[in-house]
Amino acid sequence: MWFAQAALGDIGQILQSVGVPGVLVWYLWHNTTKTIPDLVAQHQATIAKLTEDFSKALESERVARKVEVDELRDWIRDEAACKLKNIPPGATCVIDHEAAHGSLHGIKKKSD
């Protein structure tokens, strides 16, 4: 027994004085008042950061997709306008958007 006290030092003396139930009570108290709340706070901070990063990424993706959709819409509108003017598919169709003003008058076949 004295060997255990010498090897453990102060910890062995504390263990001997409070006993196993005392250490168990301290362990449970420490976990419920210190360890678990710290882990919960770290987890909440991590989740908040992940949510914020995801929201930023989603917003930038939304902007990029809107630009792509706008470009695709313009391309489709221009192609449809060229077909209405009976410009053949192999020919290059030039659309002067400033001259068109919403009509088909600014659309002409590109001269080579």
Q: What is the mean pLDDT of residues 35-50?
A: 96
Domain ranges within the chain, ordered by starting residue: 19-109
pLDDT value of position 32: 93
- Greatest Cα pair distance in the chain: 106
Residue pLDDT, tens place only, 73-96: 888 888 877 777 777 766 667 666
Enumerate the β-bridge partners of residue 93: 109
Among 6-15, 34-43, 61-70, the least confident range: 6-15
The one-letter amino acid at 85: K
Is it the case that residue 112 has pLDDT exceeding 50? no
Among 2-6, 23-27, 35-39, 63-67, the least confident range: 2-6
pLDDT value of position 89: 66
Instruction: Dig out the tokens for 71 from the structure.
Output: 């470009």
Instruction: Dig out the tokens for 108 from the structure.
Output: 């002409």
Is pLDDT larger for residue 94 or for residue 46?
A: 46
pLDDT value of position 19: 81
What are the DSSP calls for the chain, one per residue? -HHHHHHHTHHHHHHHHHHHHHHHHHHHHHIIIIIHHHHHHHHHHHHHHHHHHHHHHHHHHHHHHHHHHHHHHHHHHHHHHHHHTT--TTSPEEE-HHHHTTSSTTEEEPP-
